[in-house]
Amino acid sequence: AIASIFMQQIKDNVLAPKLMGDFTGLNPIWIFIALLIGGQIAGLLGVLVSVPLAGTIKDTIDTLRLLRQPSVVTTETVSRNPNDS
């Protein structure tokens, strides 16, 4: 029974957040925080919805950061013909 409880704790607290983090792109710490906040706000439904919602928020912030980056302008001329040097 002790070995079973130990393995369950490892699976739930180490392996599951790591796999969820790889799937959603979130750090496992943020997954725990999202689960805790979702549980406090909306109970079981909040726990079920919190990780996808956190992933969506992360992707939105990443997209906004990419849009704010300045465009790269080059001054070099690129030749399309490999024989032109």
Q: How confident is the model at residue 25, as a pLDDT? A: 82
Higher pLDDT, residue 81 or 57: 57
Is 74 a member of any domain? no
The tokens for 26 are 């979130």
Residue 38 binned pLDDT confidence (cut-offs 50, 70, 90): very high
Domain hosting 40: range is 2-65
Classify 55 as helix, strand or coil.
Answer: helix
Q: Is 24 among the domain residues?
A: yes
Considering its fold, how many domains does the chain have in total? 1
Instruction: Specify if 75 maps to a domain.
Output: no
The answer to the question of residue 27 being in a domain is: yes
Summarised one tens digit per residue, pLDDT across range 15-25 is: 777 777 777 88
Note whether residue 30 is domain-resident: yes
Whether 54 is covered by a domain: the verdict is yes
| Contact present, 34 and 50 (Cβ < 8 Å) | yes
Is there a domain that residue 28 lies in?
yes
Residue 25 lies in a domain: yes
pLDDT at 84: 57
27 Rama sector, left if φ>0, alpha if ψ -120 to 50, beta otherwise: beta
